[in-house]
Amino acid sequence: MGPGLTKDEQEWAIRRLCDYFERERGDELNELGAALLLDFLTEQLGPLYYNRAIRDAQALAQRASVGLEEDLEVAKQILPGREEGQR
């Protein structure tokens, strides 16, 4: 089965594949066939979606980091005897 999926998630995905084949293709896909298809899709396409999610997370973290850096710069205290712009 798909690595990283719980048993419940695997069963759900297999049911979805079986339902899809029946609805869209008018064909019956048995559970073994659906499990093999799930393994194939997970192995071949999983990294594509995983890497996309990582890129999205990196972009989000970078945006958050910029905001945090700005907030920290504003939070710096002015040193006694220094001008307003020097922290």
Name the nearest CA neighbour of 30 among 47, 15, 45: 15
The string of DSSP letters for 1-64 reads: --TT--HHHHHHHHHHHHHHIIIIIS----HHHHHHHHHHHHHHHHHHHHHHHHHHHHHHHHHH
At residue 85, the pLDDT reads 59
At residue 86, the pLDDT reads 63
Q: For 28-63, how does the pLDDT look when each residue is reduced to its tens digit (9 = 90+)?
A: 999 999 999 999 999 999 999 999 999 999 999 988
Name the nearest CA neighbour of 38 among 61, 58, 56, 20: 20
At residue 83, the pLDDT reads 67
At residue 79, the pLDDT reads 75
pLDDT at 84 over 90: no
At residue 2, the pLDDT reads 40
